[in-house]
Structure 1
Amino acid sequence: MATRSISFSTGEFYHIYNRGTDRRIIFTDTADYKRFIDLLYLCNSSVSVNYRNISRSGKNIFEFNRKEQLVSIGAYCLMPNHFHIIATPHTDDGLGIFMNKLCTSYSMYFNKRNERTGTLFQGNYKAKHAGEDEYLKYLYSYIHLNPVKLYQSDWVERGIKNLETAYKFVSTYQYSSLPDHLGLNRPEKAVLDSSPFPDYFSSHIDMKKELFEWLAYNTDILKGHQS
């Protein structure tokens, strides 16, 4: 069960993250990624939800009426052995309830599917208060650029070899919210509710520019160290 002693406050923003125990893979294939994203939507509800009944109904998961939501999710990214979420609670206990439902539901699914028992995640999920405006804006780039490691594992140490190709990779990475922020019309966009968050990027072009600047910045810094 994913619980922790940190106190959350309504209207504040938080970076939530966790990885697999012993750094193990927690998303083994498309079905795993899809289930977690489905749960990001379904667990964000004040009512109890039966995933099996909803999926068997043949209806679109992301059209299910969740009644009152527990949190607003601004961004997320799933990597093979960890995940990141930016969220703000609607009530002081909303984020804790949401994360408990999410991690417990996914762990039960994963263990049953893989015929395993025991803990899936590395202890309690981690939470960091994004109280500073500059830090919250940075998180959008940091989280959405995580998949660059799958394109070029040594990019932090050596810099990006091809900025255009790296950007194309992350912008089409389907297990993060970046495609939604860039205007792609897909059902998963229903996971997000950006209304409580600051409007850092007035257009898709602004978001793209920000990501390019971070990719180029890290690369230029590394080149400077090597010269």
Structure 2
Amino acid sequence: MTRIINFAPKEFYHLYNRGTEKRDIFLSPNDYERFAALLYICNQLSPAILRIQGKTLSELIKIKQEENLVEIVTYCLMPNHIHLLVRASQENGISKFMQKLMTGYTMYFNKKYERAGALFQGKFKATHVSEDRYLNYLISYIHLNPIKLIEPEWKEIGISDLSRAEKYLDRYKYSSYLDYQDQERIEKNIINKNSLPKYFKSKLDFKKTIIEWLGYPHTRSNLV
């Protein structure tokens, strides 16, 4: 499928993709950590990916970066799909970054699990974020995604237990939510909070996040 979108520098975009045939793309904690590491090390101009076999997430994210291809604002890794909110740093930066990221993880996954062929469902999808209200909504939407793992229909019927959902997000390691709670961890180096508008508060308030998401006149059918 042809993607009809032109990525403009300094603009925000919601990027997402899922496993081919909706298959799981993360089968172990190490898989999530490898993808998180690739978010960091693929985000640079150099075309070469460093030899990373055997290195830990902490070791990889401590590697000094060159000039970034994109500014990663938020991310969330789900068992069978991914969400990224990025701002383009330069011409063709998003396309180059995603090509390196998707290829690098597919090579890792196929080698580890002795498989061949495509891992992701075609080209990644992208939506331009054209207004601040939509930007706020997406930050909420992406970070709330893991709730689906404990309440599969929460987007349609609401959250039955807010306290349980909040505690679950506080334990979910595979998104940038904890970095917006100012939790000290190595993954904070993946994202760039400075790319957000100045009015945006870096620390997320969970209940305010829920209210913002529920209050946005979104079309759920367009989202993963």
| Category of TM-score, reference length = shorter chain | 0.7 to 0.9
Aligned to 1:6: 5
Q: How many residues align?
A: 214
Structure 1 runs of 4+ with >3 Å offset: 3-6, 214-218
Deviation at 1:25, TM superposition (A): 0.5
Describe the SS at the equivalent of 1:166: helix
Whole-angstrom CA distance in 1 between matches of 2:58 and 2:74: 25
Per-residue CA deviation, residues 80-138 of structure 1 (Å, 9 max, x unaligned), is 00000000111111111000000000001011111111111000000100011111110
Give the conservation status (yes or no) of the 8 Å contact 2:137–2:213. Answer: no
Whole-angstrom CA distance in 2 between matches of 1:97 and 1:88: 13
- 1:170 aligned onto 2:169: yes
Mapping of residues 55-74 of structure 1, within 5 Å? 55=55, 60-74=59-73
Whole-angstrom CA distance in 2 between matches of 1:91 and 1:38: 22
Whole-angstrom CA distance in 1 between matches of 2:131 and 2:25: 31
Change (3 A) 1:86 1:59: closer
Aligned to 2:148: 149
> What RMSD, in angstroms, separates the aligned Cα atoms of the two structures?
2.2
Per-residue CA deviation, residues 128-149 of structure 1 (Å, 9 max, x unaligned), is 0001111111000100000001
Give the conservation status (yes or no) of the 8 Å contact 1:54–1:61. Answer: no
User: % of aligned pairs identical?
Assistant: 44
Give the conservation status (yes or no) of the 8 Å contact 1:33–1:175. Answer: yes
Instruction: Specify every segment of 5 or more residues in structure 1 that has no aligned partner in the other structure, as ranges.
Output: 219-227
Whole-angstrom CA distance in 2 between matches of 1:132 and 1:43: 28
Mapping of residues 125-204 of structure 1, within 5 Å? 125-202=124-201, 204=203
Change (3 A) 1:138 1:51: farther
Mapping of residues 42-121 of structure 1, within 5 Å? 42-47=41-46, 48-52=48-52, 55=55, 60-121=59-120
Deviation at 1:201, TM superposition (A): 3.8
TM-score by length of 1: 0.87
| Structure with the greater alpha carbon radius of gyration | 1
TM-score by length of 2: 0.88
Instruction: Specify every segment of 5 or more residues in structure 2 that has no aligned partner in the other structure, as ranges.
Output: 217-224
Whole-angstrom CA distance in 2 between matches of 1:203 and 1:127: 24
Deviation at 1:172, TM superposition (A): 2.3
